[in-house]
């Protein structure tokens, strides 16, 4: 059975886990996931915990296309460090930090973070060394560009193969830098912008997600309210809840171990049904 040691808390994957998104940014793509004041952040985290969330994912830098510019590591740390400190003291759930910054990795690990979630797969300067110096697991996500570029048009000869090859290469780099395989989670990187997927590529990734799961590592799927859902439904992000639940269930059924979402209560219920069916003899 796959499992992760998250700063002393063992996260097992005998069932699919739910990660709740807590963005402490002013410009994340879905306005319903932006939280600014500490009271608001704590209230939302408590709501997620009561709903059954397994992991709280704190992010201080928006990666959506058209975000309001690059955020310095110092500014990002100023946003997320107090949140990590408070969440780790007040809740038993694992606190994940959505960052690519070596500084943020180092300081939030000291403050109680149990996981690092890096959309750039430890490609920024110093990130590999910073993660290796902790004992934390890391989510390695596939992306094509370092910053969101709305005009970027991606191309793959075989999106699942190309994504898999990229992730396997990053695993090798991690191993060469002292990060063991049992600390690694894979994320195929659903979405446009820096993640480099058109709606057609996202749909192909979801259809063939089992190929990523069959690589043998825990897999995170983050599809909540994303643009490929909007392309299919012709609806804005606020109208994508039911479809987000549908794709979460699809991902869980083929082996995704962590589902990263904005809507925790609804997703927990949906994933509970998947887990219940899976555990029935």
Q: How far apart are CA 49 and CA 128, in angstroms?
A: 31
Q: Which of 17, 44, 197, 226 is catalytic?
A: 226
Contact 232/199 with Cβ under 8 angstroms? yes
What stretches of the chain show up as alpha helix (H) in DSSP?
38-51, 73-90, 102-110, 127-132, 159-176, 199-207, 209-213, 227-233, 241-253, 264-279
CB 113 within 8 A of CB 94: no
Determine contact, residues 21/262, Cβ cutoff 8 Å: yes
Q: Active-site residue 17, yes or no?
A: no
CA distance 114 to 134: 10
Cα–Cα dist 135/6, whole Å: 8
Residue 260: active-site member:
yes
Among 79, 170, 183, 260, the active-site one is 260
Environment class of 225 (CB within 10 Å of its CB; exposed 0-12, middle 13-18, buried 19+): buried
Residues carrying an active site annotation: 226, 260
């Amino acid at each position: 059975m796959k499992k992760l040691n998250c700063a002393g808390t063992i996260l097992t994957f005998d069932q699919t886990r739910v990660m709740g998104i807590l963005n402490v940014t002013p410009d994340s793509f879905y306005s319903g996931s932006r939280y600014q004041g500490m009271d608001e952040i704590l209230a939302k985290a408590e709501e997620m915990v009561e709903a059954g969330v397994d992991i709280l994912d704190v992010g201080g830098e928006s990666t959506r296309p058209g975000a309001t510019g690059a955020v310095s590591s110092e500014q990002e740390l100023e946003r997320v460090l107090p949140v990590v400190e408070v969440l780790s003291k007040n809740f038993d759930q694992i606190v994940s930090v959505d960052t690519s910054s070596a500084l943020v990795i180092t300081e939030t690990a000291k403050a109680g973070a149990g996981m690092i979630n890096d959309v750039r797969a430890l490609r920024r300067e110093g990130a590999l060394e910073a993660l290796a110096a902790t004992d934390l697991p890391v989510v390695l996500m596939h992306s094509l560009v370092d910053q969101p570029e709305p005009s970027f048009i991606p191309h793959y000869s075989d999106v699942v193969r190309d994504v898999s090859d990229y992730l396997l290469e990053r695993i090798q780099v991690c191993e060469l830098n002292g990060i063991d395989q049992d600390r690694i989670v894979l994320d195929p990187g659903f979405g446009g912008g820096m993640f480099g997927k058109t709606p057609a590529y996202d749909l192909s990734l979801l259809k063939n997600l089992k190929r990523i799961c069959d690589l043998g590592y825990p897999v995170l799927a983050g599809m909540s309210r994303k643009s490929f859902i909007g392309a299919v439904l012709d609806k804005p992000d606020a109208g994508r809840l039911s479809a987000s639940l549908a794709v979460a269930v699809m991902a869980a059924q083929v082996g995704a171990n962590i589902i990263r979402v904005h809507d925790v209560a609804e997703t927990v219920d949906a994933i509970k049904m998947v887990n219940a069916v899976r555990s029935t003899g």
